Structure 1
């Protein structure tokens, strides 16, 4: 992977996610695409298709409320977040999906563009264990139509996150 400074998409360095990666000197790649407002695909599946990456390597960031506190679950775009599993991973009794307005307020990002990196508040983060199988995964860069490729271990490091099996299929 190349450093952002060598990327042809340097104009996107203004997102807080990219700024955080640059500050931490973490290698990453930038992948901008035209977000289709009329697409029937989810934001994550649209991203996978647009940047030509298999959906298992593209991860969506979902905000949850676990025992009254906001947290993030990062799972493949072709899977669902298992609320019982993320609650367990966070040491909580139960978790539910956060209200989108609360997620936007806490992160500073809009739904469909919520990045696990560089948010207004540092929320506890759990990355699905399937990510570890890949050299690089792709997460939102902080706006719709913009993803960042990076090593899963680097995502965990920059977010002070943890890894657990939190995704479920079908």
Structure 2
């Protein structure tokens, strides 16, 4: 078996003269300090950019304030805990009451034309099929107060009656 030979100082090749190597000749220029860079002139953004920034910020503040004022004015009377159906009914209630009162008055005149007198009770209008039972109810379960006199009558809106339409008409 052959032995491996170890490297000895004699086996290390000698470097050639550094004057002959082109890479090593210019090393002196590599190690010189870099020249001081010339100070760069600051590019001025100008006053225009600052003005635009402030105007945009001002417009954003105006938009937020405007949105807040609009929301306040829009929703100040809204009760978020009641159903929207109740709000619609209360807004339409005067119109519905007026229409129902007109129907009852018209039915009273039809009854008088047929019987030569006004009925003793509004229920008689339902019994004669001149009105429906629900026509005697004012919106939201209220009834009409009816009083017959000799040749005239009074018809007024009464207070709220708790219960269904059947209970209020009876």
TM-score where L is the length of structure 1: 0.23
TM-score where L is the length of structure 2: 0.23
Asked which structure has the greater RCO (Cα within 8 Å, sep 6+), the reply is 1
Larger fraction in helix = 2
Larger Rg: 2
Larger fraction in strand = 1
